[in-house]
Structure 1
Amino acid sequence: MQRVEGTRYTWHAAPDGGACFPTATGWTYVSNSEVPIVGGASAIGFDATGKVTSAYRILNGTTLNCAGGATPWGTWLSCEEHDLGLVHETDPTGATSARSRSAMGRFKHEAAACDPVRKVVYLTEDQSDGCFYRFTPFTWGDLSKGTLDVLLGSGTGPVRWARVPNPEVWLTPTRNQVTGAMRFDGGEGCYYTNNICYFTTKGDNRVWAYDAASATLDLAYDDDLVTGGTPPLTGVDNITGTATGDLYVAEDGGNMEINIITSNGIVAPFLRVLGHDKSEITGPAFSPDGSRLYFSSQRGKSGFIGGTDGHTYEVTGPFRR
């Protein structure tokens, strides 16, 4: 925990999911804190040259804020990772108070990704028998009310959705309310682009690809299918992408790498963090102009899970085009 350079703000411990948002003078990077009881989220402001201009808190009073996702209307969905966890919609500028969105379900939330074509939000669940969800708000841009569906299927191929009857108040967890709900071994990152929602599962080192246009499920990566040596990508976790179609997948453990999956399916290491062997890479996000990549080592060199450490980095491009 150190002060953000050029400010008087102390950056939070255990940084997790993150995203960038454009501003009138540059951009803002937001980051969750996966610390119990005092988790929440913070933000760093940058000017057009990439210089830090501010740092501040945007969410308080929440716990174990893991990943999340950005909305098309410029808010950050901060997700709590516990059995009754909520999604909290926050303002990256800090000007408006955060609001919990209980209609999106109470479960071990991990990440969220918005699909502006179908006007839904996809959600992952960090359980060994977790599910993949779709939230459809009654009004696009207002997440206070809507319906929560769960994905049904038996593997890759055609899939369908069914409504979760009691997403907010339940005796039976959301993942067990619908017969035939497809199980995923530890849902993690979630990223939508061009009709495809990519999401990762850490228990089996897979990157899934849900084609929303055809309602089919496929695999973009599976370490069990790698032949001829050690798989390049293990411990799959947070995921993001570029406008050119490349995916960037962060590792929880593994070699502490961010791996690239190119648009033609090549998987290769992009960067590695040395000396942080008991940590995980979190929060990868590109600046709006694509010139900078931000990410964190959640537990830093100490590897302390309780959260008193953590480092957030900036990598300057140019990146692959």
Structure 2
Amino acid sequence: MQRRNLLRAAVVGTGSVAFGFTMTRPSFAAYPVQTGPSPYGALQSADANGVLLPQGFTSRIVARSSQTVPGTSYTWHGAPDGGACFADGNGWIYTSNSELGSTGGAGALRFDASGNVVDAYRILGNTNNNCAGGATPWHTWLSCEEVDRGFVYETDPFGANAAVQRPAMGRFKHEAAACDPDRGVIYLTEDVTDGAFYRFKPTTWGNLASGQLQVLTESGGALTWKNVPDPDGSPTATRNQVAGTKRFNGGEGCYYADGVCFFTTKGDNRVWAYDAVANTIAIAYDDNLTANAPLTGVDNVTGSASGDLFIAEDGGNLEICIITPDDIVAPFLRLSGHSASEITGPAFNPAGNRLYFSSQRGTSGSSSGGMTFEVTGPFRTA
């Protein structure tokens, strides 16, 4: 991904927060992204799977909660949530969390070079409310528990190695993770109304057994990363241990590309852009500052090879919206008949021509009715 983004000149307060981002670092403009036409065109009528897509795109359901994945012996988990794709020889693997209490965890779908599902299996079991997470450059999936003093579990998408609990990454109400190999850190979001934004610095990059958890703080308009004294989070929660911790209202999805970590906050329907090079933070999207805002209930986020962001809705009208490098926000797809659900786990296969995501509760509104989709079509590559 070659997105080159940064802050805009409309500065709030003393200068640590700006509105919006642009394609090139030297560029500046006045406002967050605005509503406009999608580069993929208008949504067409719902297909047989209840998915409204642009012209030229098609959908299929690759797995249903509580049902055996066709061609395998694995029963797909309930409440599918965050996900990621991994290259697997000529094929690929899609991992998916299960946001169930005590019986949560994560599963995986294996695809061959033609996109056929050839295997499905469990990679983590009996954990709590595994919501989002993130892929690592060394090809593991970080599955995060969205509970008080929850853990991060490092799992093997290929199903060969047992999952490992990573307490050094902190115990809090985890949401998502995004790896920054340029600085050797992993960014972490926290899903509470007065949450923090964290990064974990492993002692050795590629080994999450030890390291330092840090929290983003703000003083006098300057941002600083400070060590969290007690990552175990007891008796004092990690977000309340360091003076000046910068607060975020309900941290959700997290995605890193080309020096910028994008993350979403559901409490104020914002997409943030933390520029790790300049150590500044921007509001890339705010539904209160965008006319006829199409994106509400911001949640999981991923990116494409063209530099587009794809952001799933928890609520709203059940869309995945696109934010382009040209500062346009528009719907990319919409689900019909899923009003009691949420869209989760958007992720592209390695070739970038297939997008996976789930409807966590499907059309039934129950965690046992989740559906995992694949969308194929002419996705932009530049």
Q: Does 1:68 align with 2:133?
A: yes
Is the Cα contact below 8 Å between 1:63 and 1:80 reproduced in 2?
Answer: yes
- How well do the aligned residues superpose, as a CA RMSD in angstroms? 1.2
Residue matched to 1:278: 340
Which aligned pairs between 1:1-321 and structure 2 lie closer than 5 A?
1-153=66-218, 158-227=222-291, 230-304=292-366, 307-321=367-381
Deviation at 1:169, TM superposition (A): 4.9
Write the deviation string for residues 159-218 of structure 1: whole angstroms up to 9, x where unpaired.
Answer: 211110000252000010011101111000000000000000001000000000010000
Fraction of identical pairs, as percent:
66
- What is the TM-score normalised by the length of structure 1? 0.96
Aligned to 1:308, the other structure's residue is in SS state: helix
Q: Distance in 1 between matches of 2:150 and 2:322?
A: 31
Write the deviation string for residues 72-119 of structure 1: whole angstroms up to 9, x where unpaired.
Answer: 000000000000100000000110000000000000000000000000
Aligned to 2:186, the other structure's residue is in SS state: strand
Q: Distance in 1 between matches of 2:341 and 2:267?
A: 17
Is the Cα contact below 8 Å between 1:252 and 1:279 reproduced in 2?
Answer: yes
- Code of the aligned partner of 1:210: Y
- Code of the aligned partner of 1:268: A
Structure with the bigger RCO (C-alpha within 8 Å, sep 6+) is: 2
Write the deviation string for residues 267-318 of structure 1: whole angstroms up to 9, x where unpaired.
Answer: 00000011000110000000001010000000111223xx222100000022
Deviates more, 1:121-130 or 1:158-167: 158-167
Deviation at 1:61, TM superposition (A): 2.3
Deviation at 1:8, TM superposition (A): 1.6
Q: Distance in 1 between matches of 2:275 and 2:191?
A: 21
Is the Cα contact below 8 Å between 2:305 and 2:380 reproduced in 1?
Answer: no
- Code of the aligned partner of 2:70: E
Q: Distance in 2 between matches of 1:42 and 1:180?
A: 39
Aligned to 1:299, the other structure's residue is in SS state: coil
Is the Cα contact below 8 Å between 1:109 and 1:124 reproduced in 2?
Answer: yes
- Code of the aligned partner of 2:102: I
- What is the TM-score normalised by the length of structure 2? 0.81
Deviation at 1:320, TM superposition (A): 2.4
Q: Distance in 2 between matches of 1:317 and 1:106?
A: 40
Aligned length: 316
Q: Distance in 2 between matches of 1:129 and 1:169?
A: 15
Q: Distance in 1 between matches of 2:335 and 2:319?
A: 6
Is the Cα contact below 8 Å between 1:35 and 1:64 reproduced in 2?
Answer: yes
The runs of at least 4 aligned residues of structure 1 exceeding 2 Å deviation read none
Write the deviation string for residues 132-155 of structure 1: whole angstroms up to 9, x where unpaired.
Answer: 000000000000100000011279
Q: Distance in 2 between matches of 1:85 and 1:71?
A: 19
- Code of the aligned partner of 2:121: Y
Q: Which segments of 5 or more consecutive residues in structure 2 lack a partner in the other structure?
A: 1-65
Is the Cα contact below 8 Å between 1:158 and 1:217 reproduced in 2?
Answer: no
- Code of the aligned partner of 2:283: L
Residue matched to 2:35: none
